[in-house]
Structure 1
Amino acid sequence: MSDDRTHVQEFFTARAADWDSKFPDDGPAYAAAAAALGLREGGRVLDAGCGTGRALTPLRAAVGASGLVLGADLTPAMLAAAVRAGRHRDGRLLLTDVSALPLRTESLDAVFAAGLIAHLPNPADNLRELHRVVRPGGRLALFHPIGRAALAARQGRRITPDDLRAEPNLRPLLAASGWRMTSYVDEDAQFLVLAQRDG
């Protein structure tokens, strides 16, 4: 495992047990972001970097019983927390790295990714891997339940111009990875970027 992946795994392992209790009011924001993907009954969706699986329930609601919901995460402790919370009933959990997904090319309708972009060791390559598993015309949602400014304030830091999530940085990164940004929202109550897979 690379140093970057080890660091991410250690970071989230230390926080897995009380992750949900630290952010108890995020449910409606996750539901709204999942709905923004425009999934249909029977759809196939991946929650990339699913953590404790907070998006799995609204994603299941969107695709119904006939749909496929997958949750992929690198950290066993986060997946264990998802199981303890009962969210494994809403989606199949995969212990895997989003840089090499064990999924067929063009097998999904959409990817949901909450808080993932900041933890990707090779964002362009990792976004290309998400592109690989989504069908042409499929969608990507990059989400965080609070916006960049609110998150920076919570963490006691300032937003810098090189912030990967800033629209002038993220739009070309997505384009270089095969995604066309269709919507960019960065407000105190939500960060949500929607993109479509071209070709």
Structure 2
Amino acid sequence: MADDHAHIQDFFTARAADWDSRFPDDGPAYDAAVGALGLRPGDAVLDAGCGTGRALPALRSAVGSGGTVLGVDLTPAMLKEAVRTGRERSGVLLLADAGRLPLRTGALDAVFGAGLISHLSRPAEDLKELARVVRTGGLLALFHPIGRAALAARHGRSITEDDLRAEPRLGPLLARSGWRLDSYTDEDDRFLVLAVRTV
């Protein structure tokens, strides 16, 4: 697992400085995905794998000044970019592994994860850890600003059914990890999965 973490950190460290400029038009998609979570003022939400903090302002807007917004990422360079852009004003940034969170059980109302699922080193265990920190009935949003086919094409690959994000794979994985798949959207301009924390 240490090798997986080193690989992830190397990948994102090399790209941190120009990450936002590579995807300048994703803001509205992030806003819409956060809106789909249905957060209320005063809620507590985690952006797991927050990267440069692109979702943090929308999450702060959704929960208001009385809410709690946390951003967790494994890569110091990404968190440094979040600070450089001023996004740390929207939430508390933590250097941590989404699979081992320094949070108490049931502390959160929701988790938001943009591009997260493909970077989890132990998907079932890591999703269980996200479930641990969310109250029963709380929500998980797994998001990407483009769909699976568009993302595969961007990387010169074809879409495959063994992709962890494919609904036949993701639904059972979530179920084994303490989540119930509530909605699944995979379109050219959006991938968004909403799941509910089960008992």
Q: How would you bin the TM-score normalised by the shorter chain?
A: over 0.9
The question of 1:130 aligning with 2:130 is answered yes
Distance 1:127 1:97 in 2: 12
Provide the aligned C-alpha RMSD in A. Answer: 0.6
Shift of 1:73: 0.0
Distance 1:144 1:63 in 2: 21
The residue correspondences of 1:105-116 to structure 2 (distance < 5 A) are 105-116=105-116
Distance 2:73 2:154 in 1: 24
* Structure-2 residue corresponding to 1:64: 64
* Structure-2 residue corresponding to 1:2: 2
The question of 1:73 aligning with 2:73 is answered yes
* Structure-2 residue corresponding to 1:47: 47
The residue correspondences of 1:1-199 to structure 2 (distance < 5 A) are 2-199=2-199
Distance 2:181 2:160 in 1: 21
Distance 2:140 2:178 in 1: 11
Q: Which consecutive unaligned segments of at least 5 residues does structure 2 have? A: none
Distance 2:166 2:84 in 1: 35
Shift of 1:160: 1.7
Query: What amino acid is aligned across from residue 56 of structure 2 in structure 1?
Result: L
Query: What amino acid is aligned across from residue 161 of structure 2 in structure 1?
Result: P
Distance 1:106 1:70 in 2: 14
Question: Which stretches of structure 1, 4 residues or more, deviate above 6 A after TM superposition?
Answer: none
Q: Deviations over 1:143-173 (max 9, x none)?
A: 0000000001111111122100000000000
Q: Deviations over 1:77-136 (max 9, x none)?
A: 000000011000000000000110000000000000000100111000000000000000
Which TM-score applies when normalising by structure 1? 0.99
Q: Which consecutive unaligned segments of at least 5 residues does structure 1 have? A: none
Distance 2:187 2:81 in 1: 29
Percent identical across equivalent pairs?
72
Which TM-score applies when normalising by structure 2? 0.99
Distance 2:158 2:103 in 1: 38
